[in-house]
Amino acid sequence: MYLEAIGSKRQKVFQKLKEFRGFYLVGGTALALQIGHRVSVDFDLFSNKKISPNFLDKVEKVFKDYKISVVINNSNQLTVKIDKIKIDFVKYLFPPILGFINYQGVNILKISEIAAMKANVLGRRPSLKDYIDLYFILKDKYIDLNGIISIAEKKYKDEFNGRLFLEQLIYLQDVREMRINFLKESVSKQQLHEFFEEEIKKIKLG
């Protein structure tokens, strides 16, 4: 695992996540730990169960030595800041289909399924980080576009449209610039656009 992707302070928080056994780590941090492409600062933990009314009590107990502030607390999501490090605990409707990697007692979603999740959200809330993540997944050949679409269709069924995903992949005009702390080479929006165009040329859609 690329622990430099989260830094020493977040590593200490990460080590405590094993206490939340019904949850698994997803998103940019789960990916950055596995491929080491950029720094990621938040923890996204998903579960198929509702957030119980007393779940905050457990979080406060696990992180009793930290300053905790609550951002959101309902049956679908608990968002807290642990010494300003944001952790989201989220009830997620779509269960994992490829299993996990377990590291230090924490279940981490596999790269291919993270890619499918990012493909699914691309048209809803386009973020530069999602494009960057997909770029390195594809460039370093962890999976190709056909594979991403196949997994997304299995996971999300009719909720996912492969053609719309490909259209969104090369539409970066409305994607806001943001600071990315790269651990590998830096990539511009123009480079992303050109790379994705070439990748799309390689695939076949039914």
Model confidence pLDDT, tens digit, residues 102-125: 999 999 999 999 999 999 999 788
- pLDDT grade for 204, boundaries at 50, 70 and 90: low
pLDDT digits (tens, 9 = 90+) for 27-68: 999 999 999 999 999 999 999 999 999 999 999 999 999 999
Task: Provide the pLDDT for residue 203.
Answer: 84
Predicted TM-score (pTM) of this structure: 0.95
pLDDT digits (tens, 9 = 90+) for 86-97: 999 999 999 999
Task: Provide the pLDDT for residue 124.
Answer: 82
Distance CA 119, CA 165 (A): 6
